[in-house]
Amino acid sequence: MKAVVIGGGIIGLCSAWYLLQDGWEVTVLDKGDLSNNCSYGNMGMIVPSHFVPLAAPGMVQQGIRWMFNSRSPFYVKPRLSRELFSWGWQFMKSATAAKVEQAAAPLRDINLLSRHLYEQLATTPGFNFGMEQKGIIMYYKTAAVRDEEAHLAEKAVKMGLDAAVLDKAALQQLEPAVQLNVLGGVHYRCDAHLYPNGLMQQLLRALQERGVKITGGQQVEKIISSNGKVKAVITAAGSHTADLFVVAAGSWSAAIARMAGINIPLQPGKGYSVTLNQPAVSLQVPAILCEARVALTPMRGKLRFGGTMEIAPANNTVNMKRVEGIVQSIGQYFENLNITMPDKNEVWHGFRPCTPDGLPFIGYAKGTDNLLLAGGHAMMGLSLGPATGKLIAELAGHQAPSVGISHFSPGRFN
């Protein structure tokens, strides 16, 4: 049985990995050269703690306020677009306490599955991607955010996750080299991190060594289907036939799905990151700065920091005002990290595929029996890569999924 996976990011490669293990003959197609997609510049965090989706109560009002700040962490570019209007309307309908409560357990379960699969992958010969289980720390500076984070930590513990609310003194013991300027933080010891660049390179090599055909420069131009079954994918380089097709093309997944007559609401969310080599002062534990929505991860002697979410058409411009906002916020939490503004050519950017409710699409496309969708993971693509790949392989083999996936149905907005 042959499978074609469209997309060579972490979701596509993990799908190929687990399909291969189940006996499929796999081809991976990517429009780029597979060297610098969204999976390379992310923060490398594995986050069972992230059981609250992007579409949460208060995000609509907060997003409107942030729209008028050029350095804010969240921005929706206003434009006349039926797709954006529909996406925004669905986002508002999803941003309720009830919807967030319903999403908590599914997000926890799929993240825990992914962490377990990463642990297995880390012991596989040929893999050494710097996975460390030190958790992450959510730092806060204000009493209001402290109360919110303490409430979330309490909920996390009730859900079986390892989390502890710490004061500044306790945090300072965990980070002795850094001068903290915070009120406190929550240490989610259930989380982990890794070096994504190493992971991607090793996964590519391992797949190719095992016979998976991986080719770049394969922009999908047409999908041929009939009677609820995809027959072929056409690229500029030729036609690709298979028994199974998986769309895992990140922010371009919606456009590819439309070629098969499938409509899924998906918007690209641009994010930026900068990687410092051998900084004089660094962190021991990955950090998220709550008020600023900025993340920092130490990885193999490097320190990567990043943030922002720009909901706008995919483009390769770098908004240095938003980068400036990231840099300035770090100094407000860590007084001696001494991070200065990078040159524009040092700033990496990528596009996170965002669904209106903050939950990914994992499952068969509505009305088809051989087209699987795997996308919309937003900022959790790296975290959910192995779990998504495992679930895709299970669905392809008509096996019971390892975790419940009803909340991730691609047809839930139709």
What would the mean pLDDT of 212-230 be, rounded to a whole number? 95
Which of 50-54, 138-142, 337-341 has the lowest average pLDDT? 50-54
What would the mean pLDDT of 101-110 be, rounded to a whole number? 96
Domains of the chain and any CATH numbers: 2-40+198-264+357-408 (3.50.50.60), 50-191+267-354 (3.30.9.10)
Residue 267's pLDDT is what?
93
Residue 77's pLDDT is what?
76
Q: Residue 53 pLDDT > 80, yes or no?
A: yes
What would the mean pLDDT of 240-261 be, rounded to a whole number? 97
Residue 277's pLDDT is what?
94
Please report which helix (H) or strand (E) contains residue 146, including its range.
helix 143-158
Q: How confident is the model at residue 288 (pLDDT cuts 50, 70, 90)?
A: very high
Residue 308's pLDDT is what?
87
Q: Residue 361 pLDDT > 80, yes or no?
A: yes
Residues 15-52 as b or e (16 or more Cβ within 10 Å = b):
bbbbbbebebebbbbbbeebeebbbbbbbbbbbbbbbb
Report the range out of 36-45, 56-65, 259-268 with the highest average pLDDT. 259-268
Average pLDDT, the chain: 94
Answer for the pair 330, 339: CB distance below 8 angstroms, yes or no. Answer: yes
Q: What are phi and psi of 321, to 5 degrees?
A: -65, -40
Q: Residue 62 pLDDT > 80, yes or no?
A: no
DSSP alpha helices (H): ranges in 194-260? Answer: 196-209, 253-259
Residue 66's pLDDT is what?
67
Which letter does DSSP use for residue 101 in this model?
Answer: H
CA–CA distance, 222 with 362 (Å, rounded to integer): 22
What would the mean pLDDT of 264-287 be, rounded to a whole number? 95
Q: How confident is the model at residue 365 (pLDDT cuts 50, 70, 90)?
A: very high
The residue type at 291: E
Query: What does R_g of the chain's alpha carbons equal in angstroms?
Result: 21
CA–CA distance, 306 with 201 (Å, rounded to integer): 21
Residue 368's pLDDT is what?
94
Q: CB 383: neighbour CB atoms within 10 A?
A: 30
pTM: 0.95
Residue 165's pLDDT is what?
98
Which of 28-42, 271-285, 377-391 has the lowest average pLDDT? 28-42
Q: Pick the closest to residue 227 from 361, 363, 371 (CA basis).
A: 371
Alpha carbon separation from 99 to 2, 50, 357, 383 (Å, rounded): 38, 15, 8, 22
Q: pLDDT (tens digit, 9 = 90+) per residue, 372-395?
A: 999 999 999 999 999 999 999 999
Residue 43's pLDDT is what?
95
Residue 120's pLDDT is what?
98
Answer for the pair 358, 94: CB distance below 8 angstroms, yes or no. Answer: yes
Q: How confident is the model at residue 300 (pLDDT cuts 50, 70, 90)?
A: very high
Higher pLDDT, 311 or 170: 170
Answer for the pair 387, 360: CB distance below 8 angstroms, yes or no. Answer: no
Q: Residue 57 pLDDT > 80, yes or no?
A: no
Residue 67's pLDDT is what?
66
Residue 82's pLDDT is what?
87
Which residues are registered as beta bridge partners of 309? 74
What would the mean pLDDT of 22-26 be, rounded to a whole number? 98
Q: pLDDT (tens digit, 9 = 90+) per residue, 119-164?
A: 999 999 999 999 999 999 999 999 999 999 999 999 999 999 999 9
DSSP string, 20-78: HHTT-EEEEE-SS-SSSSTTTSS--EE-TT--S-SS-TTHHHHHHHHTT-TT-SEEE--
Q: Pick the closest to residue 248 from 361, 101, 404 (CA basis).
A: 361
Answer for the pair 378, 358: CB distance below 8 angstroms, yes or no. Answer: yes
Residue 68's pLDDT is what?
65
Residue 105's pLDDT is what?
96
